[in-house]
Structure 1
Amino acid sequence: MTESLLYIVSTPIGNLGDMTPRAVEVLERVDVIAAEDTRHSKRLMSHFGINTPLIPCHDHNERQQAESIVNRMRNGASVALISDAGTPLISDPGFYLVRAVREAGFRVVPVPGACAFVAALSVSGLPTDRFFFEGFLPAKSGARRKRMEVLSAFEHTWGVYESPHRILDSLEDLQAVLGDEHYIVIAREITKTFETVLAGSVSDVLERVRSDSNQQRGEFVVLVEGNKKEKSSEITPEIQKMLQRLLEELPIKKAAAVVADLTGLRKKALYEHGLTFKDND
Protein backbone atom coordinates (compact mmCIF):
# COMPACT_ATOMS: atom_id res chain seq x y z
CA MET A 1 0.00 0.00 0.00
CA THR A 2 1.36 3.43 -0.93
CA GLU A 3 2.13 5.71 2.02
CA SER A 4 -0.22 8.67 2.48
CA LEU A 5 1.74 11.92 2.54
CA LEU A 6 1.10 15.65 2.86
CA TYR A 7 3.29 17.59 0.44
CA ILE A 8 4.02 21.29 1.05
CA VAL A 9 4.52 22.48 -2.52
CA SER A 10 6.09 25.80 -3.49
CA THR A 11 4.69 27.51 -6.58
CA PRO A 12 5.98 30.49 -8.61
CA ILE A 13 5.71 34.00 -7.18
CA GLY A 14 5.49 35.47 -10.66
CA ASN A 15 7.55 33.85 -13.38
CA LEU A 16 5.95 30.51 -14.28
CA GLY A 17 9.38 29.25 -15.32
CA ASP A 18 10.17 28.93 -11.62
CA MET A 19 7.75 26.00 -11.25
CA THR A 20 9.95 22.97 -10.60
CA PRO A 21 9.46 19.67 -12.45
CA ARG A 22 9.13 17.94 -9.09
CA ALA A 23 6.31 20.30 -8.05
CA VAL A 24 4.40 19.52 -11.27
CA GLU A 25 4.95 15.79 -10.78
CA VAL A 26 3.72 15.86 -7.16
CA LEU A 27 0.65 17.96 -7.99
CA GLU A 28 -0.26 15.54 -10.78
CA ARG A 29 0.23 12.47 -8.56
CA VAL A 30 -1.61 13.42 -5.36
CA ASP A 31 -5.29 12.71 -4.87
CA VAL A 32 -6.26 16.26 -3.95
CA ILE A 33 -4.69 19.73 -3.75
CA ALA A 34 -5.53 22.02 -0.83
CA ALA A 35 -5.26 25.58 -2.16
CA GLU A 36 -5.46 28.96 -0.43
CA ASP A 37 -7.65 30.28 -3.28
CA THR A 38 -8.96 27.63 -5.66
CA ARG A 39 -9.98 30.19 -8.29
CA HIS A 40 -6.46 31.61 -8.39
CA SER A 41 -4.85 28.15 -8.39
CA LYS A 42 -7.05 26.86 -11.22
CA ARG A 43 -5.21 29.16 -13.61
CA LEU A 44 -1.85 27.75 -12.51
CA MET A 45 -3.12 24.16 -12.79
CA SER A 46 -4.51 24.87 -16.26
CA HIS A 47 -1.17 26.29 -17.43
CA PHE A 48 0.65 23.09 -16.45
CA GLY A 49 -2.13 20.73 -17.50
CA ILE A 50 -2.75 19.47 -13.96
CA ASN A 51 -6.23 18.03 -13.45
CA THR A 52 -6.05 17.06 -9.76
CA PRO A 53 -9.13 18.18 -7.78
CA LEU A 54 -8.76 21.37 -5.72
CA ILE A 55 -10.23 22.04 -2.28
CA PRO A 56 -10.04 25.36 -0.38
CA CYS A 57 -7.77 25.64 2.67
CA HIS A 58 -7.39 29.18 4.00
CA ASP A 59 -7.42 31.23 7.21
CA HIS A 60 -11.18 30.87 7.69
CA ASN A 61 -11.57 27.12 7.22
CA GLU A 62 -8.17 25.59 7.99
CA ARG A 63 -9.20 23.87 11.23
CA GLN A 64 -12.22 22.23 9.63
CA GLN A 65 -10.26 21.25 6.52
CA ALA A 66 -7.44 19.81 8.64
CA GLU A 67 -9.84 17.25 10.08
CA SER A 68 -11.20 16.43 6.63
CA ILE A 69 -7.70 16.11 5.14
CA VAL A 70 -6.51 13.84 7.96
CA ASN A 71 -9.56 11.62 7.33
CA ARG A 72 -8.73 11.49 3.62
CA MET A 73 -5.18 10.43 4.48
CA ARG A 74 -6.45 7.73 6.84
CA ASN A 75 -8.34 6.40 3.84
CA GLY A 76 -5.15 6.22 1.80
CA ALA A 77 -5.07 9.61 0.06
CA SER A 78 -2.05 11.81 -0.44
CA VAL A 79 -2.55 15.59 -0.38
CA ALA A 80 -0.60 18.64 -1.56
CA LEU A 81 -0.86 22.06 0.08
CA ILE A 82 -0.20 25.17 -2.04
CA SER A 83 -0.57 28.88 -1.35
CA ASP A 84 -1.47 31.59 -3.85
CA ALA A 85 2.23 32.03 -4.62
CA GLY A 86 5.58 30.99 -3.23
CA THR A 87 6.29 28.69 -0.30
CA PRO A 88 3.24 27.77 1.79
CA LEU A 89 3.15 28.80 5.48
CA ILE A 90 5.49 31.80 4.95
CA SER A 91 3.00 34.45 6.12
CA ASP A 92 0.28 32.13 4.79
CA PRO A 93 -2.08 29.63 6.45
CA GLY A 94 -1.04 25.99 6.89
CA PHE A 95 0.74 25.45 10.19
CA TYR A 96 -2.37 24.09 11.92
CA LEU A 97 -2.87 21.59 9.09
CA VAL A 98 0.77 20.50 9.16
CA ARG A 99 0.65 19.96 12.92
CA ALA A 100 -2.63 18.03 12.72
CA VAL A 101 -1.26 15.76 10.00
CA ARG A 102 1.96 15.10 11.91
CA GLU A 103 0.08 14.40 15.14
CA ALA A 104 -2.08 11.92 13.23
CA GLY A 105 1.09 10.01 12.40
CA PHE A 106 1.58 10.96 8.75
CA ARG A 107 4.70 12.36 7.12
CA VAL A 108 4.87 15.92 5.80
CA VAL A 109 7.21 16.37 2.82
CA PRO A 110 8.56 19.75 1.57
CA VAL A 111 8.79 20.43 -2.17
CA PRO A 112 11.02 23.54 -2.16
CA GLY A 113 10.81 26.42 -4.58
CA ALA A 114 10.22 30.15 -4.79
CA CYS A 115 9.95 32.39 -1.71
CA ALA A 116 9.69 36.17 -2.12
CA PHE A 117 11.56 36.98 1.11
CA VAL A 118 14.52 34.69 0.37
CA ALA A 119 14.67 35.84 -3.26
CA ALA A 120 14.76 39.50 -2.18
CA LEU A 121 17.34 38.80 0.50
CA SER A 122 19.61 37.08 -2.01
CA VAL A 123 19.87 40.22 -4.19
CA SER A 124 19.80 42.81 -1.40
CA GLY A 125 23.52 43.13 -0.71
CA LEU A 126 22.71 42.98 3.01
CA PRO A 127 24.39 40.52 5.42
CA THR A 128 22.68 37.14 5.26
CA ASP A 129 24.60 35.12 7.86
CA ARG A 130 21.79 35.98 10.29
CA PHE A 131 18.41 37.50 9.48
CA PHE A 132 14.90 37.85 10.87
CA PHE A 133 11.62 37.69 8.98
CA GLU A 134 8.77 39.61 10.62
CA GLY A 135 6.00 38.84 8.13
CA PHE A 136 3.49 41.69 7.96
CA LEU A 137 3.70 44.68 10.30
CA PRO A 138 0.57 46.08 12.01
CA ALA A 139 -1.79 48.01 9.74
CA LYS A 140 -2.01 51.10 11.99
CA SER A 141 0.90 53.52 12.11
CA GLY A 142 1.20 53.72 15.90
CA ALA A 143 1.43 49.97 16.38
CA ARG A 144 3.67 49.68 13.33
CA ARG A 145 6.16 52.20 14.70
CA LYS A 146 6.25 50.44 18.07
CA ARG A 147 7.12 47.16 16.38
CA MET A 148 9.73 48.88 14.20
CA GLU A 149 11.36 50.27 17.34
CA VAL A 150 11.77 46.74 18.66
CA LEU A 151 13.14 45.48 15.35
CA SER A 152 15.51 48.46 15.05
CA ALA A 153 17.57 47.10 17.95
CA PHE A 154 18.43 43.93 16.00
CA GLU A 155 22.06 43.72 14.93
CA HIS A 156 21.22 41.49 11.97
CA THR A 157 19.24 42.08 8.77
CA TRP A 158 15.48 42.01 9.18
CA GLY A 159 12.61 42.23 6.74
CA VAL A 160 8.85 42.39 6.22
CA TYR A 161 6.24 41.99 3.52
CA GLU A 162 4.28 45.12 2.61
CA SER A 163 1.28 45.86 0.42
CA PRO A 164 1.00 48.60 -2.21
CA HIS A 165 -1.54 50.70 -0.30
CA ARG A 166 0.72 50.87 2.77
CA ILE A 167 4.23 51.06 1.30
CA LEU A 168 4.53 54.86 1.53
CA ASP A 169 3.19 54.97 5.10
CA SER A 170 5.56 52.17 6.13
CA LEU A 171 8.57 53.91 4.63
CA GLU A 172 7.60 57.14 6.39
CA ASP A 173 7.36 55.22 9.67
CA LEU A 174 10.78 53.68 9.03
CA GLN A 175 12.17 57.18 8.50
CA ALA A 176 10.66 58.34 11.80
CA VAL A 177 12.05 55.36 13.71
CA LEU A 178 15.44 54.81 12.01
CA GLY A 179 16.29 58.30 10.77
CA ASP A 180 17.15 59.46 7.26
CA GLU A 181 20.43 57.63 6.70
CA HIS A 182 19.71 54.04 7.70
CA TYR A 183 20.30 51.63 4.80
CA ILE A 184 17.29 49.72 3.44
CA VAL A 185 16.34 47.73 0.36
CA ILE A 186 12.88 47.29 -1.13
CA ALA A 187 12.17 44.60 -3.71
CA ARG A 188 8.98 44.96 -5.74
CA GLU A 189 7.24 42.39 -7.93
CA ILE A 190 10.02 39.79 -7.60
CA THR A 191 10.34 37.63 -10.79
CA LYS A 192 7.52 39.58 -12.51
CA THR A 193 7.66 41.92 -15.50
CA PHE A 194 8.15 45.10 -13.44
CA GLU A 195 10.56 43.67 -10.87
CA THR A 196 12.48 46.49 -9.17
CA VAL A 197 15.05 46.53 -6.38
CA LEU A 198 15.74 49.92 -4.77
CA ALA A 199 18.54 50.32 -2.24
CA GLY A 200 19.92 53.25 -0.27
CA SER A 201 19.16 55.44 2.70
CA VAL A 202 15.59 55.51 4.02
CA SER A 203 15.15 59.10 2.83
CA ASP A 204 16.50 58.32 -0.65
CA VAL A 205 14.32 55.23 -1.15
CA LEU A 206 11.27 57.01 0.25
CA GLU A 207 11.74 59.92 -2.16
CA ARG A 208 12.14 57.58 -5.16
CA VAL A 209 8.96 55.72 -4.27
CA ARG A 210 7.04 58.90 -3.46
CA SER A 211 7.99 60.55 -6.77
CA ASP A 212 7.12 57.57 -8.99
CA SER A 213 3.62 56.10 -8.68
CA ASN A 214 4.79 52.98 -10.53
CA GLN A 215 7.04 52.20 -7.56
CA GLN A 216 3.96 52.10 -5.33
CA ARG A 217 2.37 49.18 -7.19
CA GLY A 218 2.72 45.46 -6.62
CA GLU A 219 3.88 43.39 -3.66
CA PHE A 220 6.90 44.44 -1.64
CA VAL A 221 9.65 42.95 0.49
CA VAL A 222 11.26 45.59 2.72
CA LEU A 223 14.71 44.72 4.09
CA VAL A 224 16.54 46.70 6.75
CA GLU A 225 20.22 46.65 7.65
CA GLY A 226 20.88 45.66 11.25
CA ASN A 227 21.87 48.08 13.98
CA LYS A 228 25.58 48.83 13.53
CA LYS A 229 26.16 50.74 16.75
CA GLU A 230 29.52 49.80 18.13
CA LYS A 231 29.48 48.09 21.44
CA SER A 232 31.72 49.19 24.24
CA SER A 233 34.93 47.20 24.45
CA GLU A 234 35.11 47.86 28.17
CA ILE A 235 34.94 44.89 30.50
CA THR A 236 32.74 46.42 33.17
CA PRO A 237 32.59 45.24 36.80
CA GLU A 238 29.31 43.47 36.01
CA ILE A 239 30.93 41.59 33.12
CA GLN A 240 33.90 40.72 35.33
CA LYS A 241 31.53 39.21 37.89
CA MET A 242 29.77 37.22 35.17
CA LEU A 243 33.08 35.89 33.85
CA GLN A 244 34.41 35.10 37.30
CA ARG A 245 31.25 33.17 38.20
CA LEU A 246 31.39 31.15 34.98
CA LEU A 247 35.04 30.33 35.60
CA GLU A 248 33.97 28.49 38.73
CA GLU A 249 32.14 26.00 36.48
CA LEU A 250 33.79 26.19 33.05
CA PRO A 251 37.25 26.25 31.42
CA ILE A 252 38.50 29.74 30.51
CA LYS A 253 37.93 29.26 26.77
CA LYS A 254 34.33 28.18 27.23
CA ALA A 255 33.54 30.88 29.81
CA ALA A 256 35.01 33.57 27.53
CA ALA A 257 32.91 32.29 24.60
CA VAL A 258 29.70 32.40 26.66
CA VAL A 259 30.33 35.95 27.87
CA ALA A 260 31.31 37.06 24.36
CA ASP A 261 28.05 35.69 22.99
CA LEU A 262 26.03 37.50 25.67
CA THR A 263 27.84 40.85 25.54
CA GLY A 264 29.33 41.15 22.04
CA LEU A 265 32.84 41.63 23.47
CA ARG A 266 35.82 39.94 21.84
CA LYS A 267 36.52 36.40 23.04
CA LYS A 268 40.26 37.02 23.01
CA ALA A 269 40.01 39.98 25.37
CA LEU A 270 37.73 38.05 27.72
CA TYR A 271 40.04 35.02 27.60
CA GLU A 272 43.02 37.17 28.52
CA HIS A 273 41.03 38.80 31.29
CA GLY A 274 40.04 35.35 32.56
CA LEU A 275 43.70 34.40 32.80
CA THR A 276 44.26 37.19 35.31
CA PHE A 277 41.63 35.62 37.57
CA LYS A 278 43.38 32.27 37.31
CA ASP A 279 46.79 33.82 37.96
CA ASN A 280 45.45 35.35 41.16
CA ASP A 281 43.96 32.09 42.44
Structure 2
Amino acid sequence: MARGAARAAAGAQDYPQGALYVVATPIGNLADISLRALHVLALVDAIACEDTRHTQGLLRSLGVERAAGGLIPLHQHNEAEAAQQLLRRLAAGERVAYVSDAGTPAVSDPGARLVAAVRASGHRVIPLPGASSVTTVLSVAGAWGESSGFVFRGFLPSKAGERATAVQALAQESRAVVLLEAPHRIAELAEALEVLDQRPLTVGRELTKQFEQVETLACKDLRGWLAADAQRLRGEFALVLHPWAEAQAAAPGEELLALLLAELPLKTAVRIAAQASGAPRNALYETALRLRGEG
Protein backbone atom coordinates (compact mmCIF):
# COMPACT_ATOMS: atom_id res chain seq x y z
CA MET A 1 0.00 0.00 0.00
CA ALA A 2 2.80 2.42 0.89
CA ARG A 3 4.66 1.64 -2.34
CA GLY A 4 1.49 2.31 -4.30
CA ALA A 5 0.96 5.62 -2.52
CA ALA A 6 4.59 6.51 -3.21
CA ARG A 7 4.21 5.83 -6.93
CA ALA A 8 1.00 7.83 -7.07
CA ALA A 9 2.49 10.80 -5.24
CA ALA A 10 5.98 10.87 -6.73
CA GLY A 11 5.99 8.69 -9.82
CA ALA A 12 5.13 11.45 -12.28
CA GLN A 13 8.14 13.57 -11.30
CA ASP A 14 11.37 13.63 -13.28
CA TYR A 15 14.26 11.55 -11.93
CA PRO A 16 17.27 12.23 -14.17
CA GLN A 17 19.87 9.57 -14.83
CA GLY A 18 23.47 10.08 -13.86
CA ALA A 19 22.42 11.85 -10.65
CA LEU A 20 23.08 11.31 -6.95
CA TYR A 21 19.98 11.32 -4.74
CA VAL A 22 20.74 12.26 -1.12
CA VAL A 23 17.89 10.64 0.80
CA ALA A 24 16.87 11.38 4.39
CA THR A 25 15.69 8.31 6.31
CA PRO A 26 13.83 8.03 9.65
CA ILE A 27 15.72 8.74 12.87
CA GLY A 28 13.57 6.22 14.71
CA ASN A 29 9.95 6.05 13.60
CA LEU A 30 9.67 4.24 10.26
CA ALA A 31 6.48 6.13 9.47
CA ASP A 32 8.58 9.27 8.99
CA ILE A 33 9.90 8.07 5.62
CA SER A 34 8.63 10.32 2.84
CA LEU A 35 6.67 8.94 -0.11
CA ARG A 36 9.22 10.47 -2.47
CA ALA A 37 12.11 8.80 -0.64
CA LEU A 38 10.30 5.46 -0.75
CA HIS A 39 9.78 5.81 -4.50
CA VAL A 40 13.40 6.80 -5.20
CA LEU A 41 14.89 3.99 -3.09
CA ALA A 42 12.96 1.51 -5.24
CA LEU A 43 13.83 3.33 -8.49
CA VAL A 44 17.59 3.88 -8.33
CA ASP A 45 20.16 1.50 -9.78
CA ALA A 46 22.24 1.40 -6.60
CA ILE A 47 22.12 2.60 -3.01
CA ALA A 48 25.26 3.74 -1.22
CA CYS A 49 24.90 3.54 2.54
CA GLU A 50 26.75 3.97 5.80
CA ASP A 51 26.05 0.38 6.92
CA THR A 52 24.77 -2.17 4.38
CA ARG A 53 23.25 -4.46 7.02
CA HIS A 54 21.36 -1.60 8.66
CA THR A 55 20.08 -0.28 5.33
CA GLN A 56 19.06 -3.74 4.13
CA GLY A 57 16.93 -4.10 7.26
CA LEU A 58 15.40 -0.66 6.72
CA LEU A 59 14.54 -1.46 3.10
CA ARG A 60 12.89 -4.74 4.04
CA SER A 61 10.82 -2.95 6.70
CA LEU A 62 9.68 -0.49 4.03
CA GLY A 63 8.85 -3.25 1.53
CA VAL A 64 11.67 -2.36 -0.88
CA GLU A 65 13.41 -5.42 -2.34
CA ARG A 66 17.07 -4.85 -3.07
CA ALA A 67 19.77 -7.46 -3.66
CA ALA A 68 22.77 -7.22 -1.37
CA GLY A 69 24.94 -6.44 -4.41
CA GLY A 70 22.91 -3.30 -5.00
CA LEU A 71 24.11 -1.80 -1.72
CA ILE A 72 27.48 -0.05 -1.69
CA PRO A 73 29.20 0.70 1.66
CA LEU A 74 30.24 4.33 2.04
CA HIS A 75 31.25 5.46 5.52
CA GLN A 76 33.74 7.73 7.23
CA HIS A 77 36.63 5.30 6.68
CA ASN A 78 36.20 4.75 2.92
CA GLU A 79 34.26 7.78 1.71
CA ALA A 80 36.94 9.09 -0.66
CA GLU A 81 37.53 5.70 -2.32
CA ALA A 82 33.85 4.75 -2.51
CA ALA A 83 33.04 8.14 -4.05
CA GLN A 84 35.25 7.29 -7.02
CA GLN A 85 33.33 4.05 -7.56
CA LEU A 86 30.05 5.94 -7.50
CA LEU A 87 31.36 8.54 -9.96
CA ARG A 88 31.98 5.77 -12.48
CA ARG A 89 28.43 4.55 -12.07
CA LEU A 90 27.04 8.06 -12.48
CA ALA A 91 29.16 8.53 -15.62
CA ALA A 92 27.51 5.37 -17.00
CA GLY A 93 24.11 7.02 -16.54
CA GLU A 94 23.00 5.23 -13.40
CA ARG A 95 20.85 6.74 -10.68
CA VAL A 96 22.49 6.35 -7.27
CA ALA A 97 20.99 7.10 -3.85
CA TYR A 98 22.95 7.73 -0.68
CA VAL A 99 21.54 7.16 2.83
CA SER A 100 23.15 7.30 6.25
CA ASP A 101 22.04 5.07 9.12
CA ALA A 102 19.43 7.62 10.23
CA GLY A 103 18.37 11.14 9.37
CA THR A 104 19.74 13.48 6.73
CA PRO A 105 23.14 12.51 5.29
CA ALA A 106 26.15 14.85 5.19
CA VAL A 107 25.07 16.89 8.24
CA SER A 108 26.74 14.96 11.06
CA ASP A 109 26.91 11.62 9.24
CA PRO A 110 29.14 10.86 6.21
CA GLY A 111 28.20 12.13 2.76
CA ALA A 112 29.70 15.62 2.48
CA ARG A 113 32.84 14.39 0.68
CA LEU A 114 30.72 12.32 -1.67
CA VAL A 115 28.49 15.29 -2.51
CA ALA A 116 31.52 17.52 -3.11
CA ALA A 117 33.11 14.94 -5.44
CA VAL A 118 29.89 14.45 -7.40
CA ARG A 119 29.38 18.18 -7.83
CA ALA A 120 33.01 18.65 -8.89
CA SER A 121 32.54 15.98 -11.57
CA GLY A 122 29.58 17.86 -13.04
CA HIS A 123 26.84 15.44 -12.03
CA ARG A 124 23.62 16.55 -10.36
CA VAL A 125 23.00 16.11 -6.64
CA ILE A 126 19.31 15.97 -5.77
CA PRO A 127 18.22 16.30 -2.12
CA LEU A 128 15.25 14.40 -0.73
CA PRO A 129 14.49 16.13 2.58
CA GLY A 130 13.12 14.38 5.61
CA ALA A 131 13.89 13.51 9.20
CA SER A 132 16.76 15.23 11.02
CA SER A 133 17.52 15.15 14.73
CA VAL A 134 18.74 18.76 14.44
CA THR A 135 15.47 20.28 13.27
CA THR A 136 13.42 17.82 15.33
CA VAL A 137 14.91 18.88 18.66
CA LEU A 138 14.88 22.57 17.70
CA SER A 139 11.17 22.39 16.95
CA VAL A 140 10.32 21.32 20.51
CA ALA A 141 12.96 23.30 22.43
CA GLY A 142 11.20 26.66 22.35
CA ALA A 143 14.61 28.32 22.38
CA TRP A 144 14.45 32.07 22.02
CA GLY A 145 16.59 35.14 22.47
CA GLU A 146 17.41 38.53 21.04
CA SER A 147 19.90 36.97 18.62
CA SER A 148 18.20 35.00 15.85
CA GLY A 149 19.34 31.71 14.38
CA PHE A 150 21.17 28.74 15.82
CA VAL A 151 24.55 27.04 15.65
CA PHE A 152 24.97 23.35 14.88
CA ARG A 153 27.95 22.11 16.91
CA GLY A 154 27.24 18.37 16.81
CA PHE A 155 29.49 16.11 18.87
CA LEU A 156 31.94 17.81 21.22
CA PRO A 157 35.50 16.40 21.48
CA SER A 158 35.88 13.12 23.33
CA LYS A 159 38.99 14.18 25.28
CA ALA A 160 38.12 15.90 28.57
CA GLY A 161 40.42 18.90 28.12
CA GLU A 162 39.29 19.61 24.57
CA ARG A 163 35.66 19.15 25.59
CA ALA A 164 36.05 21.65 28.45
CA THR A 165 37.59 24.18 26.05
CA ALA A 166 34.68 23.69 23.64
CA VAL A 167 32.15 24.27 26.43
CA GLN A 168 33.90 27.50 27.41
CA ALA A 169 33.49 28.65 23.82
CA LEU A 170 29.79 27.76 23.97
CA ALA A 171 29.45 29.98 27.03
CA GLN A 172 30.21 32.98 24.80
CA GLU A 173 27.77 31.96 22.05
CA SER A 174 24.65 34.17 22.10
CA ARG A 175 22.61 31.93 19.78
CA ALA A 176 21.01 28.57 20.42
CA VAL A 177 23.44 25.67 19.98
CA VAL A 178 22.49 22.15 18.84
CA LEU A 179 24.61 19.33 20.29
CA LEU A 180 24.56 15.60 19.60
CA GLU A 181 25.78 12.89 21.94
CA ALA A 182 25.95 9.10 22.18
CA PRO A 183 24.67 7.23 25.25
CA HIS A 184 28.12 6.08 26.37
CA ARG A 185 29.36 9.71 26.50
CA ILE A 186 26.32 11.61 27.76
CA ALA A 187 27.46 11.51 31.41
CA GLU A 188 30.77 13.15 30.47
CA LEU A 189 28.95 15.83 28.50
CA ALA A 190 26.65 16.51 31.45
CA GLU A 191 29.65 16.99 33.72
CA ALA A 192 31.28 19.39 31.27
CA LEU A 193 28.11 21.48 30.87
CA GLU A 194 27.76 22.06 34.63
CA VAL A 195 29.95 25.17 34.34
CA LEU A 196 27.10 26.80 32.38
CA ASP A 197 25.04 26.65 35.57
CA GLN A 198 21.49 28.01 35.06
CA ARG A 199 21.64 28.27 31.27
CA PRO A 200 18.60 26.37 29.94
CA LEU A 201 19.17 23.13 28.05
CA THR A 202 16.59 21.07 26.18
CA VAL A 203 17.39 17.36 26.11
CA GLY A 204 15.90 15.19 23.37
CA ARG A 205 16.38 11.46 23.96
CA GLU A 206 15.25 8.70 21.59
CA LEU A 207 13.46 11.25 19.40
CA THR A 208 10.47 9.85 17.44
CA LYS A 209 10.84 6.46 19.14
CA GLN A 210 8.55 4.71 21.64
CA PHE A 211 10.39 5.97 24.71
CA GLU A 212 11.05 9.49 23.47
CA GLN A 213 11.81 12.08 26.14
CA VAL A 214 12.09 15.86 25.81
CA GLU A 215 13.02 17.82 28.91
CA THR A 216 14.19 21.39 29.50
CA LEU A 217 16.33 22.01 32.57
CA ALA A 218 19.33 23.99 33.75
CA CYS A 219 22.72 22.79 32.55
CA LYS A 220 23.80 22.18 36.14
CA ASP A 221 20.91 19.77 36.61
CA LEU A 222 21.55 17.47 33.64
CA ARG A 223 23.83 15.08 35.52
CA GLY A 224 21.27 14.65 38.31
CA TRP A 225 18.46 14.15 35.80
CA LEU A 226 20.39 11.36 34.10
CA ALA A 227 21.26 9.70 37.41
CA ALA A 228 17.62 9.70 38.56
CA ASP A 229 16.69 6.96 36.07
CA ALA A 230 19.07 4.43 34.49
CA GLN A 231 16.89 4.33 31.37
CA ARG A 232 17.83 7.95 30.65
CA LEU A 233 21.38 6.85 29.83
CA ARG A 234 20.14 4.82 26.86
CA GLY A 235 19.49 5.98 23.33
CA GLU A 236 20.83 8.78 21.16
CA PHE A 237 20.72 12.39 22.36
CA ALA A 238 20.08 15.69 20.58
CA LEU A 239 20.31 18.76 22.80
CA VAL A 240 19.67 22.50 22.47
CA LEU A 241 21.66 24.92 24.56
CA HIS A 242 19.35 27.92 24.77
CA PRO A 243 20.61 31.45 23.97
CA TRP A 244 22.51 33.09 26.81
CA ALA A 245 20.05 35.98 26.72
CA GLU A 246 17.41 33.50 27.85
CA ALA A 247 19.50 32.58 30.87
CA GLN A 248 19.80 36.26 31.73
CA ALA A 249 16.03 36.57 31.53
CA ALA A 250 15.69 34.04 34.35
CA ALA A 251 16.49 36.72 36.94
CA PRO A 252 13.21 38.67 36.44
CA GLY A 253 11.40 35.35 36.48
CA GLU A 254 12.96 34.50 39.83
CA GLU A 255 12.04 37.87 41.27
CA LEU A 256 8.42 37.48 40.18
CA LEU A 257 8.40 33.91 41.49
CA ALA A 258 9.47 35.05 44.95
CA LEU A 259 6.54 37.47 45.08
CA LEU A 260 4.05 34.86 43.90
CA LEU A 261 5.24 32.25 46.39
CA ALA A 262 4.22 34.54 49.24
CA GLU A 263 0.58 34.35 48.11
CA LEU A 264 0.11 31.19 46.05
CA PRO A 265 0.80 27.42 46.13
CA LEU A 266 4.18 26.44 44.69
CA LYS A 267 2.99 24.88 41.42
CA THR A 268 0.62 27.77 40.70
CA ALA A 269 3.36 30.30 41.37
CA VAL A 270 5.77 28.46 39.06
CA ARG A 271 3.21 28.24 36.26
CA ILE A 272 2.35 31.95 36.39
CA ALA A 273 6.01 33.01 36.67
CA ALA A 274 6.94 30.86 33.66
CA GLN A 275 4.11 32.27 31.56
CA ALA A 276 4.90 35.85 32.50
CA SER A 277 8.71 35.74 32.21
CA GLY A 278 9.31 33.08 29.57
CA ALA A 279 11.83 31.40 31.86
CA PRO A 280 11.91 27.56 31.75
CA ARG A 281 9.32 26.05 34.09
CA ASN A 282 11.64 23.29 35.32
CA ALA A 283 14.31 25.82 36.29
CA LEU A 284 11.72 27.96 38.08
CA TYR A 285 10.41 24.91 39.93
CA GLU A 286 13.88 24.16 41.26
CA THR A 287 14.25 27.80 42.23
CA ALA A 288 10.89 27.71 44.01
CA LEU A 289 11.99 24.71 46.06
CA ARG A 290 15.17 26.55 47.01
CA LEU A 291 13.29 29.72 47.93
CA ARG A 292 10.80 27.77 50.05
CA GLY A 293 13.70 26.05 51.78
CA GLU A 294 15.43 29.33 52.48
CA GLY A 295 12.17 30.82 53.69
How far is the alpha carbon of 1:21 from its aligned partner?
Answer: 0.6
Q: Determine if the alignment matches structure 1 residue 170 to structure 2 residue 189.
A: yes
| Conserved 8 A contact 1:184-1:222 | yes
How far is the alpha carbon of 1:2 from its aligned partner?
Answer: 5.1
Give the SS at the match of 2:183.
coil
Match of 1:277 in 2: none
How far is the alpha carbon of 1:205 from its aligned partner?
Answer: 3.2
Q: Determine if the alignment matches structure 1 residue 155 to structure 2 residue 174.
A: yes
Match of 1:15 in 2: 29
Match of 1:79 in 2: 96
AA aligned to 2:23 is V
- Greater helix fraction, Structure 1 or Structure 2: 2
Structure 1 residues 50-61: aligned runs within 5 Å: 50-52=64-66, 53-61=70-78
Structure 1 residues 148-227: aligned runs within 5 Å: 148-176=167-195, 178-179=196-197, 181-227=198-244
AA aligned to 2:242 is E
How far is the alpha carbon of 1:3 from its aligned partner?
Answer: 3.0
| CA displacement, residues 164-204 of structure 1 (integer Å, 9 cap, x when unaligned) | 1111211111012x12x111111000000110011121233
Given the alignment, which residue of 83, 87, 90 partners 1:70? 87
CA distance in 1, matches of 2:36, 2:131: 13
**Aligned residues with identical type, % of pairs:** 41
Q: Determine if the alignment matches structure 1 residue 106 to structure 2 residue 123.
A: yes
Match of 1:141 in 2: 160
| CA displacement, residues 136-188 of structure 1 (integer Å, 9 cap, x when unaligned) | 10012211010111121111100210111111211111012x12x11111100
The ranges of structure 1 where at least 4 consecutive aligned residues each deviate by more than 6 angstroms after the TM superposition are none
**Structure 1, unpaired ranges of 5+:** 231-281
> If the length of structure 1 is used for normalisation, what is the TM-score?
0.78
Give the SS at the match of 2:244.
coil
Q: Determine if the alignment matches structure 1 residue 27 to structure 2 residue 41.
A: yes
Alignment CA distance shift 1:2-1:206 (3 Å): closer
Match of 1:131 in 2: 150
- Farther off after superposition, 81-90 or 205-214: 205-214
CA distance in 1, matches of 2:77, 2:174: 36
Give the SS at the match of 1:165.
helix
How far is the alpha carbon of 1:133 from its aligned partner?
Answer: 0.6
CA distance in 2, matches of 1:195, 1:54: 31
Match of 1:4 in 2: 18
CA distance in 2, matches of 1:155, 1:225: 9
Match of 1:122 in 2: 139
CA distance in 2, matches of 1:37, 1:9: 14
Match of 2:53 in 1: 39
CA distance in 2, matches of 1:127, 1:102: 36
> If the length of structure 2 is used for normalisation, what is the TM-score?
0.74
- Farther off after superposition, 198-207 or 4-13: 198-207
Over aligned residues, Cα RMSD in angstroms? 1.6
How far is the alpha carbon of 1:6 from its aligned partner?
Answer: 0.3
- Farther off after superposition, 48-57 or 210-219: 48-57
AA aligned to 2:36 is R
| Conserved 8 A contact 2:80-2:114 | yes
**Structure 2, unpaired ranges of 5+:** 1-14, 249-295
| Conserved 8 A contact 2:194-2:221 | no
Give the SS at the match of 1:161.
strand
CA distance in 2, matches of 1:46, 1:103: 33
